[in-house]
Amino acid sequence: MKAYLTLLSVVFSLLLNGCSGPVEQVSILAGSELKDIKPMLDEIKRETGVEIEFHFTGTLDGAETLASGAHYDMGWFSHAKYLSLLEGRANQKFIHGSEKIMLSPVVAGVKKSVADRWGWCDNAQVSWKEFSDKAAQGELTYAMTNPASSNSGFSSTVGVQSALAGGETLQPDMIDNEAMSGFARGHKLTAGSSGWLADKFVAEQHQVDAIFNYESVLIGLNESGQLREPLCLIYPPEGVITADYPLLLLNKAKQQAFSKLIDYFKQQPVQQRLMSETARRPVIPGVALDKRFPDAVVLELPFPGKVETVDQILMTYLDKQRAPSTSIFVLDLSGSMRGDNLQQLKQAMHNLAGGDQSITGKFARFRAREQVIILPFSSQPMASQTYDIESGIGNDPVLQQLRNEINQLVANGGTAIYSALDSAYGLAKTARAQDSDRFYSIALLSDGANTQGLSYGGFRDLYRQNHDDYAGIPTFPIIFGGADKQEMEKLAHLTGGRAFDSTKHSLSQVFKKIRGYQ
Amino acid sequence: MRKIVGPLLTGLLVVGVAAAIYVSADKQLSQLNKVTVRGLIGSEKLAFFQDPRVIEAFANKGLEVEVKKSGSREIATRHDLNNWDFAFPAGVPAAEKISRENQARKSYQVAFTPMVVASWESIAKILEANGIARMRDNIYYLIDMKKLLEIIEQGKRWTDLPQNESYQARKSILINSTDIRRSNSAAMYLALASYLFNDEAVVENTTQADALVDRLANLFIRQGYTEHSSAVPFNDYLIMGIGKAPMVMAYEAQYLYAASQSQLRGDMRLLYPEPTLYTKHVLVALSEPGEQFGQVLTTDPTLQGLMIEHGWRNSDRAGFDSFIQSRKLQVPASLVNVIEPPSYEVIESMIQTIERDHYGGAH
């Protein structure tokens, strides 16, 4: 009887769903901010007969994955312009269809009390140039993602660069290094993804005056009830870059499913729902903007037309303009690391030291002006080595030296994670006392539980006692091998960092990802 | 209960299966008589081929049409054209190349549409105040292309123009087009600019072309990233409005179709470049069914009428006029100053030089 009823309900749901034929599955490689589409997946399946399997990643990462020929049926990112430029340069065709689904410009959110100081709230004349000037004078600090890892940071950087170039479309020779360095002085909170930057901003909102992000994210922050004061959204008159979220067809055999999804997303009620639930703007003329969006015209800046321009913007930013980083790597050399684990670690460090020639590898490697500190540990912390990177390219002797040292690492002994971490904070504190205009962070790799020295609780107490000296130096623990996942996540939370799971990705990939946050 | 539900359900399933068999048999029968034709089209014609009325009109003539959209320049350079029944790119140059290099059975002049600049009342007023545009019939404008290209080449910004209160953007004055390496509408802009840069004469050979190519390249390079097909910038015009691009190179047909679908806002304006040129939509039949398709498309009055409803002009002048009147649209009765594009070889050589010298050889 029960079986009959189940069958009956299946028959009914087939009758009701209005679409004929079996459910078709499609894999979509998507930008991580599109997680907010997940609540719609059941409805999409019901309405279109297409079952979406999302795989999330960053915009640039995704572009590289697709350009290197990975097999996904579709792609969905904040934009496909960089991917399209790569496609052109490689003289290949892997985008077989592209339709914009929704829009969100990258704009500035300035805390109301700060904006009021200069009459910036609801003022359409506040330009990128003024952001740059205020930052250069030390009057404005802000949160922005790393432009090499995340599109919102990239779009903001292009905005300032274009404004400084006088409104012309950026070409490789127009990157104004000095003026841009002034803007970079205000960059105090960084992150590898737009969503995480928003969380970080909420957690440390007393630290900075402003945040650059998608309009949708900023509207979301203002509606979240988590801000101590609202953000004034500013749309600079030189123009902004709007993310247009194209759905991309990659596997020609999925043309029909692609068309069904496009038809679905472009329906008026769906566009309406996307706008109310995700605060992104509609792409069909029939849907009017609701009152959360300003009436004023949003001026659009041109997106660079060549891969070389994009590369030049990023390289100049990383090597010359942004505040340099001091990146401390606390590395487990306990006995359990012996063999494959140690090999993976060496490979990952080699990649950062110039061994990875891929697009993302090029941006993730150690940079000119960066200070890299390696602090190995086993039963106790070992001597640290400091490398002041010079050019960061080719035959930089410091990189060469770093690679040699990494080759010689040997695993042996116990696991004193927190004693090592405490030493790392000591190093960071001393370094920051001498030079505060750098980004300080700690990447922690351990493949097992803490067996010696300070306990987690002991470290936590020390951290709290030294809060003023340690705050703003996040730890990025890597969950690797037999590491204690919960403890690593607590540690990340305590220090304002983020835990990275290396059980699903190679250590090299995880290290690359962490680079976006350093 | 158990006893009742069982047979009832079985009955339902049997009816369902019978219905499925009946439906598919009926479909198969009609498909036996129907000829399927497959073709490559420029993206601007996709809406036409997706229109249910168009599909029905073809079905009435025993044709089922499958189309795939592509950039017109991409269609002309494909190597697998003999696998298709027809190619229907935008622009004579692409169609000519296809006819010449493939075993084309026949080509049909199906429709044409002038190149226009889709813009805004405020922009038109600024251009008018600066002596670059003139209003006609109280609704559309003519642009003096020579003057407009002059200020574009001078690198002027909107804020540099006097008598401009309404568009205070520090952006360079540019016409937004598609990617010159992929799409016909950009090639038409190139053709138009080359005529004006060449002292108002059609560029006839590569020597003349080479002398102009850097200036021409600038019109495109300065736009930054450009889209692959004309449907995208026109849709941006409809959605993102004046902030995205104040002037968009488009087909008149796109604008008229959007107007007839009530997709336009009140302050949108159509600017006609002077001179302008026509994009002719030539169908190249590559197989016998392709020829049958061409025959139907150019002779069936319903399809001719539907083409007009999608904004194109064709041999039915009266039909076009009545479409314009019935939708309360206004367009120039006739365009006097219309030039011819250079030959395919000359256009192709200009595009290839731009590609080589300004995009590092890739596309």
User: Could B171 and A305 be called an inter-chain contact, meaning their C-beta atoms sit closer than 8 Å?
Assistant: no
B224 and B131 within one domain: yes
Q: What's the rounded Cα separation, in Å, for the pair B138 and B124?
A: 12
Q: Residue B93 is part of which domain span?
A: 34-112+281-326
Q: What's the rounded Cα separation, in Å, for the pair A483 and A91?
A: 44
Residue A126, SS3 per DSSP: coil
- pLDDT level of residue B9 (50, 70, 90 thresholds): very low
- Report the pLDDT value the prediction gives residue B74, as an integer from 0 to 100: 83
Residue B23 located in a structural domain:
no
Percent of chain B with pLDDT over 90: 68
CB A395 within 8 A of CB A462: no
DSSP-assigned states of every residue in A210-252: EEEEEHHHHHHHHHTT--SSPEEEE--TT-B-EE--EEEE--G
Q: What pLDDT digit, counting tens, does each position of A370-393 carry?
A: 999 999 999 999 999 999 998 888
- pLDDT level of residue B361 (50, 70, 90 thresholds): low
- Report the pLDDT value the prediction gives residue B256, as an integer from 0 to 100: 96
- Touching check for B100 and chain A: CB below 8 Å? no
User: What secondary structure, in 3-state letters, does A375-420 show?
Assistant: EEECCCECCCEEEECCCCCCCCHHHHHHHHHHHCCCCCCCCCHHHH
Residue A286, SS3 per DSSP: coil
Structure tokens at B150: 């002059």
Which stretches in chain A have pLDDT values below 70? Answer: 1-21
Contacts B183 to A, Cβ<8 Å: none
Tell which A residues from 477 to 516 touch B, by Cβ distance under 8 Å: none
CB B87 within 8 A of CB B98: yes
Min distance A307 CA to chain B CA atoms (Å): 10
- Report the pLDDT value the prediction gives residue A225, as an integer from 0 to 100: 96
Identity of the residue in A11, A90, A237 whose CB atom sits nearest the CB atom of B12? A11
Comparing CA positions, the residue from B311, B334, B317 lying closest to residue B260 is B311
**Alpha-carbon distances of A57 from A66, B267, B358, rounded to whole Å:** 11, 41, 33
Q: Superfamily for A2-102+244-278?
A: Periplasmic binding protein-like II (3.40.190.10)
Interface-testing mutation among B23, B240, B260, B358, with chain A (most A C-beta atoms within 10 A)? B240
Identity of the residue in A4, A298, A302 whose CB atom sits nearest the CB atom of B224? A302
Cross-strand partners of A479: A446, A501
- Touching check for A340 and chain B: CB below 8 Å? no
Contacts B24 to A, Cβ<8 Å: none
Task: Count interface pairs A-B at CB distance under 8 A.
Answer: 94
- Touching check for A90 and chain B: CB below 8 Å? yes
DSSP-assigned states of every residue in B150-217: HHHHTT-BGGGSSS-SS----SBP--B---TTT-HHHHHHHHHHHHHHTTSS---SHHHHHHHHHHHH
- Identify each DSSP E strand in A18-93 by its residue range: 24-31, 50-57, 74-76
What backbone phi and psi angles, to 5 degrees, belong to B339? -105, 165
- Touching check for A169 and chain B: CB below 8 Å? yes
Comparing CA positions, the residue from A101, A37, A102, A26 lying closest to residue A263 is A101
B126 and B100 within one domain: no
Identity of the residue in B1, B171, B359 whose CB atom sits nearest the CB atom of A167? B171
Min distance A308 CA to chain B CA atoms (Å): 10
User: Could A89 and B170 be called an inter-chain contact, meaning their C-beta atoms sit closer than 8 Å?
Assistant: no
CB A190 within 8 A of CB A198: no
Contacts B223 to A, Cβ<8 Å: 169, 302, 305
Contacts B6 to A, Cβ<8 Å: 4
Same fold, A2-102+244-278 and A104-242: yes
User: Could B226 and A238 be called an inter-chain contact, meaning their C-beta atoms sit closer than 8 Å?
Assistant: no
pLDDT at B280 over 70: yes
Cross-strand partners of A317: none
* Cβ-count burial B339-348 (b if 16+ within 10 Å, e if not): bebbbbebbb
Segment B46-67 mean pLDDT: 95
- Report the pLDDT value the prediction gives residue A297, as an integer from 0 to 100: 87
Tell which A residues from 219 to 258 touch B, by Cβ distance under 8 Å: 237-239, 242
- Report the pLDDT value the prediction gives residue B17, as an integer from 0 to 100: 44
B343 and B227 within one domain: yes
Comparing CA positions, the residue from B79, B89, B129, B81 lying closest to residue B110 is B89
Query: Is domain A104-242 in CATH 3.40.190.10, yes or no?
Result: yes
User: Could B1 and A1 be called an inter-chain contact, meaning their C-beta atoms sit closer than 8 Å?
Assistant: yes
Q: What pLDDT digit, counting tens, does each position of B205-242 carry?
A: 999 999 999 999 999 999 999 998 888 999 999 999 99
User: Could B239 and A166 be called an inter-chain contact, meaning their C-beta atoms sit closer than 8 Å?
Assistant: no
Min distance B272 CA to chain A CA atoms (Å): 24
Percent of chain B with pLDDT over 70: 90
Q: What pLDDT digit, counting tens, does each position of B135-176 carry?
A: 988 888 999 999 999 999 999 999 999 999 889 888 899 999
Q: Using CA coordinates, name the residue in chain B closest to A302.
A: B224
CB A210 within 8 A of CB A142: yes
Identity of the residue in A167, A169, A299 whose CB atom sits nearest the CB atom of B243? A299
Average pLDDT, chain B: 88
Residue A103, SS3 per DSSP: strand
- Report the pLDDT value the prediction gives residue A130, as an integer from 0 to 100: 94
User: Could B9 and A8 be called an inter-chain contact, meaning their C-beta atoms sit closer than 8 Å?
Assistant: yes
B250 and B120 within one domain: yes
B245 and B351 within one domain: yes
Q: Which residue has the tokens 């055999």?
A: A253
B308 and B289 within one domain: yes
User: Could A11 and B239 be called an inter-chain contact, meaning their C-beta atoms sit closer than 8 Å?
Assistant: no
B308 and B175 within one domain: no
Q: From the CB of residue A23, how many other CB atoms can be counted at a distance below 10 Å?
A: 12
B65 and B168 within one domain: no
Contacts B244 to A, Cβ<8 Å: 242, 300
- Report the pLDDT value the prediction gives residue A65, as an integer from 0 to 100: 81
pLDDT at B4 over 50: no
A356's CB contacts (< 8 A; 6+ apart) are A362, A364, A365, A508, A512
What backbone phi and psi angles, to 5 degrees, belong to B362? -100, 165
B313 and B203 within one domain: no
CATH code of B174's domain: 3.40.190.10
Residue B181 located in a structural domain:
yes
Which DSSP letter does residue B243 get? G
Q: What's the rounded Cα separation, in Å, for the pair A188 and A438?
A: 9
- Touching check for A168 and chain B: CB below 8 Å? yes
Comparing CA positions, the residue from A35, A42, A39, A86 lying closest to residue A57 is A35
Contacts B154 to A, Cβ<8 Å: none
B286 and B274 within one domain: no
Domain range A324-515, CATH class: alpha beta
- Report the pLDDT value the prediction gives residue B11, as an integer from 0 to 100: 42
DSSP helix, strand, coil percent of chain B (3-state; round to 5):
50, 20, 30
Parallel, antiparallel or unpaired: strands B338-339 and B276-285: parallel
- Report the pLDDT value the prediction gives residue B298, as an integer from 0 to 100: 95
Tell which A residues from 271 to 330 touch B, by Cβ distance under 8 Å: 282-285, 297-306, 308
Residue B236 located in a structural domain:
yes
Q: What pLDDT digit, counting tens, does each position of B296-352 carry?
A: 999 999 999 999 999 999 999 999 999 999 988 888 878 889 999 998 889 999 999
The total of structural domains in chain B comes to: 2
- pLDDT level of residue B7 (50, 70, 90 thresholds): very low
Min distance B130 CA to chain A CA atoms (Å): 21
Residue B312 located in a structural domain:
yes
Q: What's the rounded Cα separation, in Å, for the pair A120 and B337?
A: 50
- Report the pLDDT value the prediction gives residue A2, as an integer from 0 to 100: 46
Domains of chain A by residue range:
2-102+244-278, 104-242, 324-515
Q: Using CA coordinates, name the residue in chain B closest to A252.
A: B68
B125 and B55 within one domain: no
Cross-strand partners of A388: A371
Interface-testing mutation among A306, A309, A311, with chain B (most B C-beta atoms within 10 A)? A306
CB A471 within 8 A of CB A207: no
- Report the pLDDT value the prediction gives residue B32, as an integer from 0 to 100: 56
B108 and B90 within one domain: yes
Residue B45 located in a structural domain:
yes
User: Could B172 and A283 be called an inter-chain contact, meaning their C-beta atoms sit closer than 8 Å?
Assistant: no
- Touching check for B4 and chain A: CB below 8 Å? no
